[in-house]
């Protein structure tokens, strides 16, 4: 039985599937309405995140990959654009490797998911063993301009009196689920890297120039493993360019969608 998913929807037209990062896409995220001008935005919450149920047998990244294959199958038409954000970029890359028949375009924004350096090299700042204030410093170009109600890496350091008890419980639940799916190995699948060559749809790899969680050099290496992928950076943005620079982010996505109609 498929798990019951909380799904945020905006707009109409060709489906745009947004695969979220460490927290579900906020209804207040400034990129949502802009993106909805270009199609029907569908943004599920992963099982165990937000209000989505956590099935008792879900515990690996492959459970999420198989789930999103089902999500794509259930979308109308045969022209799906998939956008993966951070941790969701890892999921989206894994899904694209399986070549879903409806997938037409892929956008990976600051994805994790692969190991670039050697055994002792830290490619990805440790999400769980790094102080929240340090995560915030590394994840955001300008932490003072985080949109209200939107939580990314370092969310623990942004807790204030405006956050409701329900929001705090939901964020803690998201973090627990993230640990389940990605603690070991931390934020990557050693089996993914050699199979990125199987991705066969037009792919845009976007990176915040100020990302201190996974650097632009990691992003360039990631893009280089995907046949024909374009790599572009977004100025004045960190690990969450869709939140810090929503206009530039959506403009890049829209260009890809127009170029491959």
For the segment 74-104, what is each residue's pLDDT rounded down to a tens digit? Answer: 999 999 999 999 999 999 999 999 999 999 9
| 144 or 230, which is more confident | 230
Lowest mean pLDDT among 56-65, 101-110, 162-171: 162-171
Residue 169 has pLDDT above 70, yes or no: yes
For the segment 193-207, what is each residue's pLDDT rounded down to a tens digit? Answer: 999 999 999 999 999
Q: At what angle do helices 165-182 and 61-74 cross, to 10 degrees?
A: 110
CATH assignment of 7-259, among 3.60.20.10, 3.40.50.1820, 3.40.50.300, 1.25.10.10: 3.40.50.1820
**CB-side neighbour CA atoms (13 Å) of 167:** 14
- Average pLDDT value over all residues in the chain: 95
Residue 136 has pLDDT above 80, yes or no: yes
Residue 161 has pLDDT above 70, yes or no: no
- On whether the CB atoms of residues 205 and 226 are closer than 8 A, the answer is yes
Please say whether the dihedral angle defined by the alpha carbons of residues 27, 31, 36 and 37, taken in this order, is positive or negative.
positive
Distance CA 257, CA 261 (A): 6
Identify the pLDDT of residue 165. Answer: 83
- Torsion of the alpha carbons at 63, 67, 69 and 72, rounded to the nearest 10: -160
The ranges assigned to domains in the chain are: 7-259
């Amino acid at each position: 039985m498929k798990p019951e998913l909380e799904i945020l929807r905006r707009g109409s037209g060709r489906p745009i599937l947004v695969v979220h990062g460490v927290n579900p896409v906020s209804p207040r995220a400034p990129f949502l309405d802009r993106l909805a001008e270009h199609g029907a935005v569908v943004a599920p919450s992963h099982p165990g995140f937000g209000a989505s149920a956590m099935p008792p047998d879900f515990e690996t990244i492959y459970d999420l990959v198989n789930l999103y294959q089902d999500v794509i199958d259930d979308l109308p038409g045969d022209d799906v654009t998939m956008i993966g954000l951070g941790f969701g970029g890892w999921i989206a890359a894994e899904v694209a490797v399986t070549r879903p028949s409806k997938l037409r375009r892929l956008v990976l924004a600051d994805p994790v998911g692969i190991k670039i350096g050697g055994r002792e090299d830290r490619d990805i700042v440790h999400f769980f063993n790094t102080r929240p204030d340090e995560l915030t410093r590394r994840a955001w170009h300008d932490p003072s301009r985080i949109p209200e109600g939107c939580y990314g890496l370092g969310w623990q350091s942004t807790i204030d009196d405006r956050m409701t008890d329900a929001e705090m419980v939901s964020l803690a639940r998201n973090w627990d689920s993230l640990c389940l799916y990605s603690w070991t190995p931390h934020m990557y699948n050693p089996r993914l890297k050699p199979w990125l060559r199987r991705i066969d749809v037009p792919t845009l790899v976007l990176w915040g120039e100020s990302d201190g969680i996974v650097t632009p050099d990691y992003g360039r290496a990631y893009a280089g493993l995907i046949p024909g992928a374009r790599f572009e950076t977004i100025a004045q943005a960190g690990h969450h360019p869709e939140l810090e620079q929503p206009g530039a982010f959506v403009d890049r996505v829209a260009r890809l969608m127009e170029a491959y109609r």
